[in-house]
Amino acid sequence: MKVLSFAVHTVFWGTLSILAGCSEAPSPCGKGAGEILDEAQCVGVTKEQLSGSTVDYYADMDYGISKNPAALQARLEPFFPGISEQDAVDRFARGRNNWIVWTAGNDRFWDELSQFTFGNADLLKTISNHPSLGYSRDNRWEYLGVVNEPCFEKPNGPQADRYGLWLDIRDDSCAPDPFADSEAYPGVKIGARGENIEVGSYYGYGTGIVGLRLFPNPEFDETAEANWDPVRYYTDPEYYDNKDLVRPYRVGMSCGFCHVGPNPTNPPQDFNNPEWSNLNSNPGAQYFWVDRILLWDKDEDNYLKQLFHASKPGALDTSLVSTDYINNPRTMNAIYNLASRLELATKWGQEKIEGPEQNNKQLNDYLPDDHALSQFYDAPDTVYTPRVLKDGADSVGALGALNRVYVNIGLFSEEWVEHFRPVVGGKKITPFPIATAQKNSTYWRANEEQTADVALFFLGSAEPDYLANAPGGENYLSDDESVLAEGKKVFAETCARCHSSKLPDYVFKDYFPNKGCVNGDYLKCWNDYWQHSKTDQFKTAMQEVVQEDNFLQNNFLSTELRVPVTLLETNACSPLARNALAGDIWDNFSSSSYKSLPAVGNIQVQNPYTGEVRDFAMPGGGRGYTRPASLISLWSSAPFLLNNALGPFEYEGTVEARMKSFEASVERLLWPERRAHSGQDDSYDYDYPFDVITRSGKKHPGYIQVTQQTSYLNITPGYLPNFVAEFDGILSKLLPKLFSSDGITLGPIPAGTPVNLIYNTDISNIDKDRIKLLVKIIKDLKKLPHGASDEQAKTIFANLVEPLYQGSSCPDYVTNKGHYFGTDYLPDSEEETPLTDQEKYALIEFLKTM
């Protein structure tokens, strides 16, 4: 195969964006931003026809709270005065069903994503059991990190009633899946649905994986059916590597796919075969391997494989699809103690919303004016809100934050993808407009009607998972009261200022005025608060709060404040995320007060090859901050940091495995000198040893993520636009290094290349410097012969490192740095005495009780 000698991101993704643009398929339901309809509205389905189910099928989950209506009612009564037991159960079930099984029509998007990734992503193969794949239901937990759904089993062969696909089958000993009932929940009849194939349920069919549902493909008409060959689909690249292949099913994704996980205190005996009682709705997908899930083929020389593998298990770049040209894998958020989180929002969670931001639904839209939950919105421009995303961007109210999540996994993708080009970028990004969704999407309106019950569901279910309640948990807990007392003291003086929603009363009154300091002076408010947190006055008052017997009860264990990354020194790619900035894709879902946050100043970054330190000016307008993670159930959530990069990963999910990871991770957190040159273990090939230089001048072990081997991006002929095939001979002559009868290969990208050095090059704005870089790349490309070796490519690449580094959207490559509080790695200006080893060990014992 002829090879393009080398292409870094500017050429690499630019080429892909052109090709992806050529493969975009028109919708039968209109065309163009603001004019296109979703499939439901296109055929006249109303939101009332997609109202959601109150069947409490998942009653055994979440500690079985809905099986005790009186207890559930009592838990919800403070927020829903007068709610009956039956209404509590019905609304709770409706909210949980939305979370776990409702996909809101996004099966269309996940099918289309296969086109945008040139066949690399194919969820229909991800859920399969065909022997050629090398994984199946038998080892999904170990290999994919996804949760197998109870009441399914592995098939012995292809299923005749599923067009010869090797999918999980329903266990005969279980009752039928209630959500697959097409009479109770009739699906959207469009295209081939209802013609040569069945319509099905709007919840789809179970796939055997929690959070993934199967839907008849409306494009699978008689012609597609005649062309369908299930044997070749699994075994013949010439057949399945084709943009025109129509599969009989599309796979939809619910929120639960990324959030349902094993109950830490009641883990399964067999993680590949859990019971519903072994599962909780809120921990987050802590064991999820995104590269293996999205890239079904195990081809290690695929550059996309190398890129996606930069996401540690349990971490995912949520801006991967609507790219901001920053590789930014982050953990899926656990959802605990929502009630205390909402209470904290009333104290300093005020945000101002203007213009299109005001189109977000608020709890008030579904409640009487005097309702207990009506206090979170003052019409027309003030909300009091939790900040769910790690950069604190989704700041328009709790329901707005929820609705944005559904869009991010494909709700009303017909409109969404009109505003950017998925995955590869290269197209000017414009905001996804809520007003358009409310007008043109039945799925959007149906989802808005259900999200209030999702909030109710979490108010009733999101309880902490305590180590004390786990099997064998008492073996890891200290019964030495003096040690625990010392741990509480250390927590009060060092940690609580960021990691407690219970603080001295005067703090809420005297700091962050107007319940959030959103008048443009936030950084000054933060600095004043931080300096005060070092005083004896604060420490003494905080000790009194921590010593209260009910300190951990209804404590969110986070302040939800936005902390400048200049103080945290953690990897800057998350606080540099820009999808929620003014004019970007999530513009309507972030507050005006977020968009006016001041710049935090300069951070320190290092050249990924030489280690040389330089300053990088953090931009303002929302970026530069991270909200503190909640420490609830900290024992069950290691590795640490927002990207799961600090500490070893243990896939088993047992109490013993969780504690093994916790103890190693918390040790590396509190003793930076004990951090590792790898995030997994000493043989994790994608992590490159690197010495971190902190602002204090001290060094500690760290790592950056690099390509493991020489890699390429291969685009087979079947995924090329038709014009390429038509002009194959001409293109091969004009561009022999790029086009051939075998398709396109972009590469070689040399082994050891920092993944983010390439990916973090912004091609959305072509300015003078980027044009200079592009000219340099093209000139250097000509120096390489056909079939250049890895060493030759490295020689050329060495000349491109510095310009790529200088022009990077996020030139911060060290993954496991930062959070040096309580250590001697803070700059002298912090004027804080480091903790002793005894104090650190006492703190660890207290953290285990959370």
| Least confident window among 96-100, 249-253, 392-396, 698-702 | 392-396
Quick one: three-class SS letters along 336-371? CCHHHHHHHHHHHCEEECCHHHHHCCCHHHHCCCCC
Q: How confident is the model at residue 581 (pLDDT cuts 50, 70, 90)?
A: very high
Q: In this predicted model, which residue has the larger pLDDT, 27 or 601?
A: 601
Rg of the chain over all Cα atoms, to the nearest angstrom? 26
pLDDT in tens, 327-347: 989 998 899 999 999 999 999
Q: How confident is the model at residue 783 (pLDDT cuts 50, 70, 90)?
A: low
Amino acid letter, 200:
G
Amino acid letter, 736:
P
Question: What is the spatial distance between Cα 298 and Cα 166, in angstroms, rounded to a whole number?
Answer: 19
Concatenated DSSP letters of 309-343: TTSPTTEE-TTSSS--S----EEPPP---HHHHHH
Q: Are 487 and 495 in contact (CB under 8 A)?
A: no
pLDDT, the chain, mean? 89
Question: What is the spatial distance between Cα 296 and Cα 664, in angstroms, rounded to a whole number?
Answer: 32
Question: What is the spatial distance between Cα 780 and Cα 835, in angstroms, rounded to a whole number?
Answer: 52
**Residues 227-254 as b or e (16 or more Cβ within 10 Å = b):** ebebeebbeeeebbbebebbbbbbbbbb
**Helix (H) and strand (E) counts in the chain:** 33, 21
Which residue do the tokens 């921990």 mark? 283
Distances (CA, A) of 68 to 73, 93, 767: 9, 13, 62
CB atoms near residue 191 (< 10 Å): 19
Question: What is the spatial distance between Cα 832 and Cα 641, in angstroms, rounded to a whole number?
Answer: 22
pLDDT in tens, 452-479: 999 999 999 999 999 999 999 999 999 9
Sign of the CA dihedral 231, 235, 237, 241? positive
Concatenated DSSP letters of 389-430: STTS-B-S-HHHHHHHHHHHTTTTHHHHTTSS-TTT--S---
pLDDT in tens, 829-845: 667 899 999 999 999 99
Amino acid letter, 532:
H
Question: What is the spatial distance between Cα 444 and Cα 438, in angstroms, rounded to a whole number?
Answer: 6
Element (H, E) at 618: strand 613-618
- Paired with 43 in beta bridges are none
In degrees, to the nearest 5, what angle opens at C-alpha 293 toward C-alphas 292 and 299? 35
Position 710 scores a pLDDT of: 82
Q: Are 245 and 239 in contact (CB under 8 A)?
A: yes
What DSSP designation does 734 have? Answer: H
Position 252 scores a pLDDT of: 98
Position 714 scores a pLDDT of: 64
Q: Domain coordinates of the chain in residue numbers?
A: 9-21+711-749+762-806
In the structure encoding, which two tokens stand for residue 140, read together?
């999904």
Cβ neighbors of 203 (< 8 A, separation 6 or more) are: 53, 101, 102, 103, 179, 180, 185, 213
Half-sphere exposure in the Cβ direction for 645 (13 Å, CA): 28
Residue 742 reports pLDDT greater than 70: no
Distances (CA, A) of 130 to 23, 127, 136, 164, 235: 28, 10, 7, 11, 9
In the structure encoding, which two tokens stand for residue 812, read together?
């911060």
Question: What is the spatial distance between Cα 470 and Cα 466, in angstroms, rounded to a whole number?
Answer: 7
CB atoms near residue 66 (< 10 Å): 23
Distances (CA, A) of 593 to 438, 514, 572, 582, 623: 24, 12, 21, 11, 12
Amino acid letter, 378:
D
Position 718 scores a pLDDT of: 60
- Residue 590, φ and ψ in degrees, nearest 5: -120, 150
The candidate with the shortest Cα–Cα distance to 396, out of 460, 329, 332, 345, is: 345
- Paired with 4 in beta bridges are 746
Position 4 scores a pLDDT of: 34
Position 667 scores a pLDDT of: 97
Question: What is the spatial distance between Cα 410 and Cα 422, in angstroms, rounded to a whole number?
Answer: 11
Q: Are 205 and 180 in contact (CB under 8 A)?
A: yes
The candidate with the shortest Cα–Cα distance to 341, out of 37, 495, 512, 556, is: 556
Sign of the CA dihedral 63, 67, 70, 76? positive
CB atoms near residue 581 (< 10 Å): 22
Position 211 scores a pLDDT of: 98
| Least confident window among 90-104, 114-128, 185-199 | 114-128
The candidate with the shortest Cα–Cα distance to 74, out of 64, 63, 85, is: 85
Q: How confident is the model at residue 432 (pLDDT cuts 50, 70, 90)?
A: very high
Position 8 scores a pLDDT of: 45
State the pTM of this model.
0.92
In the structure encoding, which two tokens stand for residue 718, read together?
């079947």
Cβ neighbors of 231 (< 8 A, separation 6 or more) are: 164
In this prediction, residues 541-550 reach a mean pLDDT of 97
| Omega before 748 within 30 of 0, i.e. cis | yes
Cβ neighbors of 416 (< 8 A, separation 6 or more) are: 109, 322, 407, 410, 432
Most confident range (mean pLDDT) of 62-76, 289-303, 667-681 is 62-76
Question: What is the spatial distance between Cα 807 and Cα 489, in angstroms, rounded to a whole number?
Answer: 45
